[in-house]
Structure 1
Amino acid sequence: MGPVVHPGGAAPGGCRVVTDETLPRLRDAVRGWASAVAGDDQYRNPAAVRPQLAARKLNGRSSIEAHARPAIAAS
């Protein structure tokens, strides 16, 4: 799947996007996190969820930096 861009649109400076290259890694990270917190109702425990999110770079800014790439400026 190619990029989805509105005709005449441009990404704002600093924008990052999930690409065909980064999507599989993001999907694997989310699946790994879900598997890790599924047992024993760990998903209900913030103290168990937090380190699992961090380990897979699925929290805050680290998720964007790890699983998205800088948008290419319109020419």
Structure 2
Amino acid sequence: MYQLVIHFSDDYGKGAKTENVSVILGLDNEDEMRAIYEKLSSEGGQVKVELQKTFFGALHGQVADGKNGITWVMNCFAGN
């Protein structure tokens, strides 16, 4: 099971753009996270941050998908 957090921000009247869109996934299973990360990166995705343990206690990684250019930010706090 994972939690999906979608963050929307107002453009403050400057005209909306679809660049720099990120979706943050909070996962509780490292194997599931690795599978999602590998699938996104193997299907034409661009790795932005390699999977790594972080100072804030999560396994963390970021991949921009090859289809829409959306950046998937993933964190897993399982096993900590």
Task: Tell me the TM-score normalized by structure 1.
Answer: 0.29
Structure number with higher relative contact order (C-alpha < 8 Å, ≥ 6 residues apart)? 1
> Which of the two has greater helix per residue?
1
> Which of the two has greater strand per residue?
2
Task: Tell me the TM-score normalized by structure 2.
Answer: 0.28
Larger radius of gyration: 1
